[in-house]
Amino acid sequence: MVNLSVISTIIVQAAMISALYALIAIGFTLIFGVGGVLNLAHGATITMGAFSAYYAGQFGLGVPGAVLASVTIPALFAGVLYLGMVKRLEDEPIMVMITTLVVSVVIEQAIVVFEGTTSRALPPLIQGQFSIAGSTFQNLLGAMFVVSWLLIGLLFLFVNYTKTGKGILAVSMSHKGASLVGIKSSRINLITWIIAGAFAGIAGLFLGSWLTADFAMGQAQLVLSFSIVVVGGIGSIRGSVIGAYLIGFLEIATTNLVSSSLQGLAPLVVLVVVLLVKPEGLFGREFTE
């Protein structure tokens, strides 16, 4: 039977999972909102974040090393990907989709070659548990919630109160308008890709240490990002956060109350319904905070 403690468990659990989902989706929505391209290597960037942390652990760099590696390596990778391939295809969204898709296959297969298909455990970030309303949760998930909101807050401040951030806003609104006032859109795009890569890396770090890391872990995250971004409205950070919470709550509720084998189905169904009923999403089109 559904009682009060089950509901409170679901709410707390869903809030923490949704925070992770928001981290996963923000990078994707940033790139789409600013550059107008779908980065299908986003899932692979998340995988890369998890494996960077894994390797840092293997080299004995400890938790700080793992955190640092999982932020810098994916950020660097995203920057290189933008400069090396995406930049000259910017006017050709399909080629960007196909190229980034192939890049993600390359990364996944590189992991298969060097690490095999087995799951890897990341160095434990935070141990222990805490309890709310009679249910216990991992400290890791609590930290995930805090870090997620901290980063979302920082991103919000960055976008709205710094010169570069305002440049990002301007480019997302109009490429031509931005270049008219002297904003270099390629530089802004590069910054966006780097930020998106860093966010994806952190998401990969938490995802990997919460569950485990394997080569295909990014695929589901890519689909999740899609769903969240479409539900929230493409290009809207606020929409992505709300979309993440909507899908997170829905998923935890269905897996807890209906059947655990439905995991992963909820976001897909929501996505299709939203696409058919309200294709522009809940907060469509604008990129404002």
- For another protein, the binding residues (CB under 8 A) are 36, 38, 85, 91-95, 97-99, 101-103, 105-106, 109-110, 112-114, 172-177, 219, 223, 226-227, 230, 234-235, 259, 261-262, 264-265, 268-269, 271-272, 275-276, 279, 285
Select from 197, 191, 204, 193 the least CA-distant residue to 67. Answer: 204
Listed in sequence order, the residues at least 6 apart from 39 whose beta carbon sits closer than 8 Å to its beta carbon are 27, 28, 31, 32, 45, 86, 96, 100, 193, 196
Select from 89, 113, 1, 34 the least CA-distant residue to 287. Answer: 34
Q: Where is 78: in which H helix or E strand?
A: helix 62-81
The minimum distance between CB 3 and another protein, in angstroms, equals 26
Task: Choose between 16 and 24: whose C-beta lies nearer to another protein.
Answer: 24
Task: Choose between 215 and 249: whose C-beta lies nearer to another protein.
Answer: 215
**Residue 20: how many CB atoms within 10 A of its CB?**
23
Size (the chain), residues: 289
Alpha-carbon distance 92 to 38, whole Å?
Answer: 11
The minimum distance between CB 268 and another protein, in angstroms, equals 5
The minimum distance between CB 264 and another protein, in angstroms, equals 6
Alpha-carbon distance 249 to 15, whole Å?
Answer: 7
Task: Choose between 55 and 145: whose C-beta lies nearer to another protein.
Answer: 55
Task: Choose between 19 and 230: whose C-beta lies nearer to another protein.
Answer: 230
Task: Choose between 163 and 176: whose C-beta lies nearer to another protein.
Answer: 176
The minimum distance between CB 95 and another protein, in angstroms, equals 6
The minimum distance between CB 280 and another protein, in angstroms, equals 8
